Amino acid sequence: MRLLKSQIEQKTGAGWATLLPEEPEDMWHAYNLIQENDRIRAKAVRRVSKTSDAGSTSSQRITLDLTIAVTSTDFDIGSGQLHVSGRVAVENEHVKLGQHHTLDLELNRKFTLEKADGWDSVALEMLKEACDNDKRAELWAVVLGEGTANICMITEHQTILRQRIEMSVPRKRKGGVDGHSKGMDRFFSTTLSTLLRQIDLPNTSTTQQGKMLPLLLASPGFVASAFLAFIRAEATRTTNKPLLALIPSIIIAHSSSAHIHSLNEILSSPAITTKLSDTKYARETALMDKFLTLMRQDDGRAWYGPREVERAVDKGAVGRGGGVLLINNALFRAQNIAERRRWVKLVDRVREAEGGEVRVLSSLHESGKRLEGLGSIAAILTYPLEDLDEEQEGDDVHGGEGENGEMII
Amino acid sequence: MPPGGFSRTRNVDYDDDDAYDDEDDYSEEGEGGDGMTEHDKEQMRVGTTRVRQGLGELSEFTSDAQIQEALWHYYYDVDKSVVYLKNKLGTTEPKQEAPKKEKATSRFDQAASVADQKAPTTTGKQTHPQSSWLEESAYRVAYLSPPPISMPTNEAIGDFFWDVPWGNVPLHRLGVITLDTPRYRGGLLGGSSKLAALAAKRRKDREEAEAAATKANSEANAAVAMLDKLTVKSKEPTSNLRGGDTERPSRARYPGRRRSRSRSPPPEAIDEAILKPAVQQPAIVCELPAQRAKASMFASTLCGGSSTAARRPFPTLEVFPAPYTIYKEYDSAKAFASPSPDDIKKRVQGEKLAQSVEKLAVADEPKVKSKNLNVVQEFEKSGLKRMANFVVVGHVDHGKSTLMGRLLYDLKVIDQRSIDKLRKEAENIGKSSFALAWVMDETSEERSRGVTVDIATNYFETDKTRFTILDAPGHKDFIPNMISGASQADFPVLVIDASTNSFESGLKGQTKEHILIARSMGMQHIIVAVNKMDTVSWSKARFDDITKRMTAFLTEASFLEKRITFIPLAGLTGENVVKKIESSAAHWYTGETLLEALERVELPKRNLQKALRLSVADVFRGDMRSPLSISGRIDSGTVQVGDTILALPANETATIKAIEVQDAPVDWAVAGQIPTLHLTDIDPIHLRQGDMVCAPNAPVKLVKAFTSKLLAFEHVLPMPVEVFRSTLNSPGGIRTLSARLNKFTGEIVKKKPRIVKPGEVARVVVQLERELPIEEGMRVVLRERGRTVGAGLMENVA
């Protein structure tokens, strides 16, 4: 994303910014930036009907600059399209005030965003991050097992599941393993062709200019290495030069399952992190792991859930010297302004008043999804705190120790 | 055999052959039509004289033209021509009748003739040729735009083309002699399809029958019939002489028939017609070879690739004169007075055919008939042996597969030859100790890596019990496979490596996890096979140590001590597996062998009366007859052949075509068995491993989220997990921790716990990625990051 112009007052945060999205990922940033009630001005195509004096109507499509007050946003992850609907906020000769319009934000088409209640720290941070162009780590990952494969694209801020392949591969049977090996071959060739369609390998002539993204193959057992062997054989057989060129950048990793959420463990494993450049994803994942380890130790230094974390912040436990606030960016997308303000205040407080660290996790990454499961917010405390959840548990039932017998489960 | 698909293909083949033959004939004859060289003429002259000599007294009935024609066709083979002419003149020797009678009629012919005889005989033979003849004329008339040009005879062809340069025939002349391939097929030496021959034969049969019955309706009819017979007879030897082509004896009937029709000659004229085929026929038939020759090699050699014929390989049919319009019979012929041959054929065969097709359809459709057995009664009546399925679990490399290989080998399920073969193969890659394991590990991956990857199923039988072995993989990556195997078993056989360090590492690893999974599947009994005792020289101390520690562990996992059996054994050498150990080092052990222990295990009660529940373990293509088969354990209920089942979550029904239990076909299967069901009426895409098969009237509900009592093996937080239900493996997550429960009473200890620690029991809400069939009382295993975090019991839909 390119910041073309901006006029934001330091003190109040009032002002606007003109942005030019350049990559599909920028749409994701825009989606995070645009709030309800914000004003957005962009080029739009609108059908305008005119009634002549004689009473006949004629309608025509005209391109015009429209300013709307946002009522809702709609983001399609797969295609990276963002639709912003709202009501016209600035009248012109074709469109009246208050008419509805849905803007389709497009790549390389600038738009101007004006925040309804000023640019807060989180929004400014997001804006900064969105316009930061140098760190762009991307990779393709295929998480596969026997008969299932998930092809995904991992970018700085998103994990996009591009294609999921599910085939039924016959299992080994007594006396004949033909069905199994044939099934696996079929599965591999489907996966490879799908993968190639997704990756869109650069042509040999343009190999130099097109960057080669690393490809990560992960599976339990030997499926990933069998798939690599298949790719190698297939590339040699068909003398597919782009594919042959891709082979050196393939990384094999071990995962415990063929499901996409095992990407978490793959990307946090040291074997992979050394091979990959420092991605945001890897950092987020490592942080989540640290939190979960503390959680397991159960010494009161890790808490999750909105109320518990807020209490911990109140007690000043998320501060200097190791206090970390983990927050899912989904919370900042809250439709409710008050809700958003609550989290922005919390973040500001931790960051400025307490001096703790704040990490905003992308809800499109697996680590963010994990955090979502924990209530979208968690904290690592500087000192142990017990019973942050005490109050609500007024009616604790303490069942007596049962006599030795069969377990209920 | 009615004309089914098979015979149809056969006929097509014959037609192809014929088409080929025809072309040969064309080129042969075509050359003849082009004009004779001096040499030819000389040969012809000599030949004619010789033939006349050969014919003897008959020669006076024969014209020169006929002789020459015959010679031409037989390439100046005097003998053949003589025979041919003799035959033509009706002096056929009796022996020449013989081959026709001997000709083996195909089943098709038999069926066809039967059909013919039974068919109404309203259609005289005459109508056939007439209508077919007229049909052709009609066809030609339809295309007739230029005025008809008088047809040149064979001899006239030269004159006709006198002003035409080679290879540059003007278009209109080409048109005149446009060929009509099908019409030529009945030529003297031309091929005719088998089908045509059959049709002719059939017609003849019918006509004979008719003649016998009605003694000839009219004189004309009789005459034609006679003519027909005559023609057939006369053709017979020709084809015989042509090289034993007995397959199509009567193919030459078409020309004869045509002639007779076109002329409707009086009996005296018939002879004439037959005797001079070449003279009378050329207008219709013989001009074709000439045209054909233009397109043939001769022309192309002369004119190269640029010849007209080469440029237009298929002359257009637009300018198409009807040659026989010049005959006056054409006008008098009543074109559509009688039904077309197609109509007649249809009428004759139609009903018959329709009937037979119907019958065929009935035979083809594998309508599965249910025997409507009362399977529970049948099962009780049958007095089947006890059926037990056990899963072999344990840490990787503790010798599970080898132990099972040994068990099967000692029970003679695997013969010596196979073992020797495996041993040799194993030695070839330097892993001779793996030979027995390879009985179970069959895929190349498993063999090259020496690790079991997927469940291997095998069967054996003792006097009392029929066993199914489910050999589970020990490696931690393949626990999903192990779970699907364990879900099909009644009890586990835990294999433990007795050698130092192995036991200890296993206890930390999959020995523990497998025990927990087996227990959470609800298994009560366990046999612990302390393997590789030979490596610790059958030390009692070691065995006791292992027994003590394992008992402690197993009771902690809530196996009752009385339901645990320990056996010291050695899988590789086979002591205490089937045979008792004889070594003096193990004199301290007097207990039972593995086999005895297996037979002693109490089996859980089977739920025969409940609704059918089967969890699909494998979907595969059996063979040609059963393109879709599934296998899996019946958890409750019964199935029989012909039953309709419902596959969930696809919600599609299928019909059971056949059932196999332990590779033997049966009519029904009951809970506790692991049958293979061959299905029809369902698309394979609707079936996946892990699907639930149930009775359509008692389906399992599809749920997206459910509450479950959970016994935690690891720390449990709200987190993404893999949910295993029997053979099903699906991504999902723990949404909320509702309460921590008392382990034994089930009372709530703490609401909304922050975390559930290992060993605690909690009530949790499990969210699934998509709707899956899970119902109350089903057991689930939750795993995360390659570790089993807990085992649950489904309580209700959340």
Q: Write out pLDDT tens, residues B538-568.
A: 888 999 999 999 999 898 888 888 889 999 9
- Name the one residue in this structure whose structure tokens are 């690893």: B509
Task: Name the band, by pLDDT with cuts 50, 70 and 90, for residue A298.
Answer: confident
Q: Reduce the DSSP state of residue B695 to 3 states and report it.
A: coil
Contact A214, A245 (CB under 8 A): no
Q: Are residues A167 and A239 in the same domain?
A: yes
Nearest-Cα residue of chain A relative to residue B766: A373
Q: What are phi and psi of A187, to 5 degrees?
A: -65, -45
CA distance A196 to chain B (A): 24
Dihedral pair phi/psi, residue B645, rounded to 5°: -120, 160
Residue position matching structure tokens 């080929």: B20
Question: Is B731 in CB contact (< 8 Å) with chain A?
Answer: yes
Query: Is the pLDDT score of B150 beyond 90?
Result: no
Q: Do A397 and B744 touch (CB under 8 A)?
A: no
Residues of chain A in contact with residue B734, where contact means CB-CB under 8 angstroms, are: 373
Tell me, yes or no, whether B52 lies in a domain: no
Distance from the Cα of B207 to chain A's closest Cα (Å) equals: 59
Q: Would you tell me which residues 157-196 of chain A have a C-beta closer than 8 angstroms to some C-beta of chain B? A: 166, 168, 170-175, 177, 179-181
Residue (of B789, B701, B742) closest to B516 by Cα position: B789
Cβ of B445 within 8 Å of Cβ of A226? The answer is: yes
Provide, as residue numbers in chain A, all residues whose Cβ is less than 8 Å from the Cβ of B746: 408
Query: Rounded to whole angstroms, how far apart are CA atoms B673 and B671?
Result: 6
What torsion do the CA atoms of B26, B28, B30, B32 make, to the nearest 10 degrees? Answer: -150
Q: How far is A84 from chain B (nearest CA, A)?
A: 29
Contacts with A, B 591-650, CB within 8 Å: 617-621
Query: Do B331 and B399 reside in the same domain of the chain?
Result: no
**Partner residue facing A396 (CB), from B449, B751, B793:** B751
pLDDT band at B155 (very low <50, low <70, confident <90, very high): low
Domain shared by A249 and A365, yes or no: no
- Predicted confidence at residue B349, as pLDDT, reads 67
Looking at the fold, whether A233 and A335 belong to one and the same domain comes out as no
SS3 B18: helix
Same domain membership, residue A143 and residue A269: yes
Q: Are residues B155 and B255 in the same domain?
A: yes
C-alpha distance from A350 to closest chain B C-alpha (Å): 23
CA–CA separation, A281 and A278 (whole Å): 8
Tell whether the model's pLDDT for residue B319 goes beyond 50: yes
Structural domain including B624 reads 613-694
Structure tokens at A3: 């910041």
* Secondary structure element (H or E) that encloses residue B627, with its range: none
Out of A18-27, A122-131, B21-30, B88-97, which region has the weakest mean confidence (pLDDT)? B21-30
Residue A6 in any domain: the answer is yes
CATH (domain of B709): 2.40.30.10
Q: What is the DSSP letter of A72?
A: E
In a domain, A393, yes or no: no
Q: Of B600, B633, B666, at which residue does a domain stop?
A: B600
Chains A, B: CB pairs < 8 Å: 158
Q: Judge if A292 and A217 occupy the same domain.
A: no
Listed residue (A362, A350, A400, A210) closest to A281, CA to CA: A362
Mean pLDDT calculated for residue range B6-12: 46
Higher pLDDT: B568 or B26? It is: B568
Three-class secondary structure of residue B420 per DSSP: helix
Which residues touch B76 (CB under 8 Å, ≥6 apart)?
B43, B44, B47
- What is the arithmetic mean of pLDDT over A206-231? 79
Whether omega for the bond prior to residue B649 falls within 30 degrees of 0, making it cis, is yes
Judge whether B186 and B97 are in contact, CB under 8 Å.
no
CA distance A298 to B757: 9
Tokens representing residue A366 in the block: 């697996």
Q: Which domain holds residue A178?
A: 139-275
Does the residue A387 lie in any domain?
no
How high does pLDDT run on average in chain A?
A: 82
- Domain end: A234, A251, A275, which one? A275
A277: contact with B, CB 8 A cutoff: no
Contact predicate A212/A245, CB 8 Å: yes
Q: Is residue B766 part of a domain?
A: yes
User: Are B518 and B398 contained in the same domain?
Assistant: yes
Residue in B closest to A226 by C-alpha: B445
Residue among B116, B286, B278 nearest B206 (CA): B116
What is the percent of chain A where pLDDT is above 90? 12
Distance CA A273, CA A276 (A): 5
Considering the domain architecture, whether residues A261 and A322 belong to the same structural domain is answered as: no
The alpha-carbon gap from B318 to the nearest alpha carbon of chain A, in Å, equals 51
Chain A hits for B476, Cβ within 8 Å: 256
- The answer to whether residue A404 is domain-embedded is no
Burial track A225-238 (b if 16+ CB lie within 10 A, e otherwise): ebbbebbeebbeee
CB spacing of B731 vs A303 below 8 angstroms: no
A318: CATH: 3.30.1330.30
Q: In terms of domains, do B740 and B662 share one?
A: no
Q: Find the CATH number of the domain harbouring B561.
A: 3.40.50.300
Place of tokens 């069969």: A406
B522 is a domain residue: yes
pLDDT exceeds cutoff 60 at B261: no
CB atoms B477 and A370 under 8 Å:
no
Q: What is the ipTM of this complex?
A: 0.80
Is 60 exceeded by the pLDDT of residue B224? Answer: no
A contact test, residue of B452, B618, B727, B735 with most A CBs within 10 A: B618
Do A224 and A345 belong together in one domain? no
> Quick one: tokens of A199?
């990756």
| Better-predicted residue by pLDDT, B126 or A248 | A248
Residues sharing a CB contact under 8 Å with residue B336, sequence separation 6 or more, in sequence order: B131, B134
Contact A174 B458 (CB under 8 A): yes
A386 in contact with B at a CB cutoff of 8 Å? no
Task: Examine residue A36 and state whether it is found in any structural domain, yes or no.
Answer: yes
In the stretch 744-783 of chain B, residues with CB closer than 8 A to chain A read 744-752, 754-755, 757, 761, 783
Shortest distance, CA A161 to any CA of chain B (angstroms): 14
pLDDT of residue A257: 86
Q: Is residue B333 part of a domain?
A: yes
Q: Is B480 on the interface with A (CB under 8 A)?
A: yes
**Is pLDDT above 60 for B241?**
no
Tokens 């049969």 appear where?
B205
- Rounded CA-CA distance B536/B390 in Å is 27
The answer on B639 and B594 residing in a single domain is no
SS3 B350: helix
Show Cβ contacts of residue A276 under 8 Å, excluding neighbours closer than 6 positions.
A137, A139, A214, A251, A267, A282
- A152-170 pLDDT, tens digit each: 888 877 888 888 998 888 8
DSSP per-residue codes, B290-324: HHHHHHSHHHHHHHGGGSHHHH-SS--SSS---GG
B442 at interface of A, judged by CB pairs closer than 8 A: yes
Please tell me if residue A222 touches chain B, with a CB cutoff of 8 Å: yes
**Residue A331 exposed, middle or buried by CB count within 10 Å (0-12, 13-18, 19+):** buried
Is there a single domain that holds both residue A175 and residue A86? no
For chain A, the residue count is 409
Chain B contact set for A369 (CB, 8 A): 720
Select, from the ranges A53-57, B254-258, B367-371, B509-513, the one with the highest average predicted confidence (pLDDT).
Answer: B509-513
Give the pLDDT mean for A170-193: 84
Burial B709-741 (b: 16+ CB within 10 A, else e): bbbbbbbbbbbbbbbbbbbbbbbbbbbbbbbbb
Say if A212 falls within a structural domain: yes
Q: What is the DSSP letter of A329?
A: G
Same domain, B278 and B381: no
How far apart are alpha carbons A180 and A198 in whole angstroms? 27
Can you name the residues that pair with B748 across neighbouring β-strands? Answer: B741
Which pair of structure tokens corresponds to residue A219?
A: 């599976």
Q: What is the mean pLDDT of residues A318-329?
A: 85
Output Rg (C-alpha) for chain B, integer angstroms.
Answer: 43
Same domain as B657, residue B723: no
Domain total for chain B? 4
Domain end marker among B694, B716, B747: B694
Of the residues B665, B694, B723, which one is the last residue of a structural domain?
B694
B395, B474: one domain:
yes
What's the domain count of chain A?
3
Q: Is the pLDDT of residue B1 over 50?
A: no
Residues of B in contact with A402 (CB under 8 A): 742-745
- B629-687 pLDDT per residue, tens: 899 999 899 999 988 999 988 889 999 999 988 888 898 898 888 999 999 888 888 88
For residue B299, give Cα distances in angstroms to B75, B165, B178, B226, B291. 21, 11, 16, 43, 10
Check residue B69 and give its pLDDT: 80
Q: Measured between CA atoms, how close is A95 to chain B, in angstroms?
A: 45
Element (H, E) at A404: none
| CB of A61 less than 8 A from some CB of B | no
CA–CA distance, A191 with A176 (Å, rounded to integer): 24
Judged against a pLDDT cut of 70, whether residue B3 lies above it is answered with: no
**CATH number of the domain to which A18 belongs:** 2.30.30.870
A398 contacts on B by Cβ (under 8 Å): 749-750
- The answer to whether A392 contacts B752, with C-beta atoms less than 8 Å apart, is yes
Chain-chain contact of B754 with A389 (C-beta, under 8 angstroms):
yes
CB-based contact (8 Å) between A409 and chain B? yes
CB contact under 8 A, A396 and B750: yes
For residue range B289-305, what is the model confidence (pLDDT) as tens digits?
Answer: 444 555 566 666 666 55
CA distances, A348 to each of A13, A15, A124, A284, A355 (Å): 14, 20, 12, 20, 10
Whether A59 is covered by a domain: the verdict is yes
Closest CA–CA distance from residue A107 to any residue of chain B (Å): 33
* Residues B152 and B212 reside in one and the same domain: yes
Structural tokens at position A37: 């009630």
The pLDDT assigned to B102 comes to 47
Do B442 and B552 lie in one domain? The reply is yes
A392 in reach of chain B (CB within 8 A): yes
Q: How far is B382 from chain A (nearest CA, A)?
A: 27
The verdict on A6 and A101 lying in the same domain is yes
Nearest CA in chain B to A261: B720
A374 touches chain B (CB under 8 A): yes
Same structural domain for residues A251 and A177?
yes
Is the confidence at residue B244, as pLDDT, over 60?
no
The answer to whether residues B379 and B664 touch, using CB atoms and an 8 Å cutoff, is no
More confident residue, B333 or B699: B699
Q: Describe the crossing of helices B127-142 and B253-263 by its angle, rounded to 10 degrees.
A: 80
DSSP B520-584: HTT---EEEEEE-GGGGTT-HHHHHHHHHHHHHHHHHTT--GGGEEEEE-BTTTTBTTTBPP--G
Pick from A151, A219, A147, A141: nearest CA to B478: A219
A198 in the same domain as A288: no
- Give a yes or no: residue A409 inside a domain: no
The verdict on B307 and B380 lying in the same domain is: no
Whether residues A302 and A242 share a domain: the answer is no
DSSP B372: -
Q: Which residues in chain A touch residue B710, judged by CB atoms under 8 angstroms apart?
A: 409
The string of DSSP codes covering A10-31 is TTT--EEEEEE--SHHHHHHHH
CATH number at residue A201: 3.30.420.60
Between helices B510-520 and B540-556, what is the axis angle to 10°? 50
Select from A171, A256, A395 the residue whose CB has the most chain B CBs within 10 Å, as the one to mutate to test that interface. Answer: A171
Cβ atoms of B676 and B631 within 8 Å: the answer is: yes
**Is residue A261 scored above 70 in pLDDT?**
yes
Cβ(B628)–Cβ(B687) below 8 Å = yes
> What pLDDT, on a 0 to 100 scale, did the predictor assign at position B258?
47
Confidence (pLDDT) at B168? 67
- All residues of chain B having their beta carbon less than 8 Å from the beta carbon of residue A399 are 741-742, 745, 747-749
User: Taking 80 as the threshold, does the pLDDT of residue B116 lie above it?
Assistant: no
Closest by Cα among A151, A235, A236 to A195: A151
Q: Are residues B443 and B541 in the same domain?
A: yes
The alpha-carbon gap from B434 to the nearest alpha carbon of chain A, in Å, equals: 18
A338 touches chain B (CB under 8 A): no
Instruction: Please report whether residue B55 resides in a domain.
Output: no
Pick among A190, A219, A257 to test the B interface (most B CBs inside 10 A): A257
